[in-house]
Amino acid sequence: MKTWSEVAQVQPLASKIITNSMKKGRVSHAYLLQGERGTGKEEISLLLAMALFCKHTSDAEPCHDCNTCKRITSGNHPDVHWIEPEGQSIKIEQIKNLQKEFTYSGLESNQKVYIIKGADTLTLNAANRILKFLEEPSKKTTAIMLTDNSQSIIPTIRSRCQIIDLQPLNPLHFQKQLMDAGLTEANARLMSALTNNLDEAIAWNEDEWFAEARKLMVQLVEMFSSNPNDVYLYIHNHWIPHFKEKKQLEQGMDLLLLAFRDMLYYHLEKGETMVVFQKDDEKLEMAVMYFSQEKLMAILHAILQAKQKLKLNVHPTLVMEQLTLQIKR
């Protein structure tokens, strides 16, 4: 999404709110863009920053060709600052450095824009520190906060921002985009369940590591129903060596979640919504016979809990071992 007209096709309400406020000269001092991954938070932030600085806008649309637009797009404009988590959170030191920037005039104009990615990861001290700007905004300073999880934003911050809700992408429309990009229908269905980001989905589809991850997931699910006594050994010999990094293990958990959800859908006669298995897959039928609806509900809950433990920095190997035992019970 590189223009407001493109944004309007995917996020019509967000596009209308922002462009109308710009045309009327009523840009908010702080925005909170909240929505799932891939819904366009960063693209909208970039467009808003460009529109605020570009000298050749037309109906709130930046020209995209001037030196200012190009530098903002490349991340090299001195008055547009991106803040993102260092590790698991945005720390108070980062906000202190940001506050120092508040005290300086813009290098090329009086306008300044701060884009805070993962605003829900602000530590409590960092969040309280950012309130100073939100409570005493400069007329020429605009903060844009981005979050996948709006409920983790403290109320005092939310109350000082114009909140813009980004709607989930239409999965069928996204699947069509993926198939137009060369993915098979089955792969497009799976990728649309894992991500809303087109480039990410295409990259995963071509990634050998991901192909192996998908294969390991199917083998693991099959072992739970056909050879449960060897599952623990399989986890240590195959699963953990492949999913070495925390982010990779989270992706593996997502694949497991979709596989067990497929089984539940099969029980509920909702085969058309499955994304990992096909209706006539023998492996699926065998697994469904082994797991009851009640057991599948418990497994889905256990996987979600395991994902939460990963976010809390519990050791990945321990998380996977505990999950394996819960599924086997």
pLDDT of 99 strictly over 90: no
User: pLDDT value at position 38?
Assistant: 78
What whole-number distance in Å separates Cα of residue 307 and Cα of residue 253? 7
Which one is predicted more confidently, 283 or 121?
121
pLDDT of 34 strictly over 80: yes
User: pLDDT value at position 107?
Assistant: 64
The mean of the pLDDT values for the chain is: 89
Domains, in order of start, for the chain: 4-165 (3.40.50.300), 207-328 (1.20.272.10)
* Helical ranges in 11-78 per DSSP H: 12-23, 41-53, 67-74
Backbone angles phi and psi of 214, in degrees to 5: -65, -40
Confidence of residue 253 (pLDDT cuts 50, 70, 90): very high
Most confident of the ranges 87-101, 260-274, 315-329: 315-329
How many CB atoms are located within 10 Å of the residue 324 CB? 20
Strand, coil or helix: 296: helix
Give 163's strand partners.
32
Mean pLDDT, residues 133-144: 80
Cα dihedral 18, 19, 22, 23, rounded to 10, equals: -150
Lowest mean pLDDT among 67-76, 116-125, 272-281: 272-281
Q: Where are the beta strands (DSSP E) in 27-132?
A: 30-34, 80-83, 112-116
pLDDT of 166 strictly over 90: yes
Positive/negative CA dihedral, 186, 316, 307, 248: negative
pLDDT in tens, 256-307: 999 999 999 888 888 677 888 877 777 777 778 889 999 999 999 999 999 8
Burial class of residue 246 (count of CB atoms within 10 Å of its CB; 0-12, 13-18, 19+)? middle
Q: 118 vs 26, 47, 308, CA distance in Å?
A: 25, 18, 17
pLDDT of 1 strictly over 80: no
Please name which of 203, 207, 205 lies closest in space to residue 183, comparing C-alpha atoms.
Answer: 205
What whole-number distance in Å separates Cα of residue 259 and Cα of residue 250? 14
User: pLDDT value at position 251?
Assistant: 93
CA angle 77, 82, 83 (to 5 degrees): 155
What whole-number distance in Å separates Cα of residue 85 and Cα of residue 93? 11
pLDDT of 45 strictly over 90: yes
Mean pLDDT, residues 131-137: 78
pLDDT of 139 strictly over 70: no
What whole-number distance in Å separates Cα of residue 57 and Cα of residue 152? 35
- Lookup: tokens for 244: 């070495």
Mean pLDDT, residues 125-139: 82
User: pLDDT value at position 10?
Assistant: 86
Confidence of residue 312 (pLDDT cuts 50, 70, 90): confident
pTM across the whole model = 0.70
Find all residues with CB under 8 Å of 302, minimum gap 6, and list them: 323, 326, 327
Please name which of 171, 167, 174, 323 lies closest in space to residue 257, comparing C-alpha atoms.
Answer: 323
User: pLDDT value at position 285?
Assistant: 77
pLDDT of 110 strictly over 80: no
What whole-number distance in Å separates Cα of residue 50 and Cα of residue 63? 9
User: pLDDT value at position 100?
Assistant: 81
b/e for 42-79, b at 16 or more Cβ within 10 A?
A: bbbbbbbbbbbbbeebeebbbeeeeebbebbbeeebeb
In contact, 160 and 145? CB cutoff 8 Å: no
In contact, 85 and 121? CB cutoff 8 Å: yes
